[in-house]
Amino acid sequence: MLMRKHSRINMPILKILTIHNNEKTLRQKSEEIVIDKIISCEMQNFFKNLEKTMRASDGIGLAAPQVGRLIRVIAVNTLATSSSVNGDKIEIFINPKILKKSLLTSTMEEGCLSIPGIFGKVKRHRKILVEYLNKQGEKIRQKFDKMPARILQHEIDHLDGVLFIDRILK
């Protein structure tokens, strides 16, 4: 989960795994979800609980592996900026793929609830084109820039078993 440096922590709905006792799970690659499963009651409930957990943890992004599910699902607040959250528009991205990345990059400090107390500067692409399925199983292609692009890259890394500490600039 990408998080703000000074966040307040409430009780999440789902247990967030940390690197201290769950590094093996956090480092595994997640499996894609088939469309039939997306619309199941079980999966729709999981999407709601992922969103609630992200909100309760004061996060701006959360990946399914961070709550122990090795599936390609992330929740992202697409209204977040580098200095604040301008409202609350949490979107679920299923089987997200980055199709294009801008050459232009930016470096910014990141943190993660799965790695408590650690922050570091990470270089990310400023603009990306992402293809994903929404909660209804519809395929979407959308461009993101600035902070939403950063959050998506951070969370998609989680789906591939990559943690932000692997990308901290030395």
User: Per-domain residue ranges for the chain?
Assistant: 19-166
Residues noted as catalytic: 155
**Average of pLDDT values for 30-43?**
96
Nearest by Cα to 43 from 54, 53, 35:
35
In the predicted model, what is the mean pLDDT of the chain? 91
Ramachandran bin of 137, using left for φ above 0, alpha for ψ from -120 to 50, beta for the remaining angles = left
Please give the annotated binding residues for Fe cation, written as ranges: 112, 154, 158
Model pLDDT for residues 67-85, shown as the tens digit of each residue: 999 999 999 998 877 655 5
What architecture (CATH level 2) is domain 19-166?
A: Alpha-Beta Complex (3.90)
Model pLDDT for residues 111-132, shown as the tens digit of each residue: 999 999 999 999 999 999 999 9
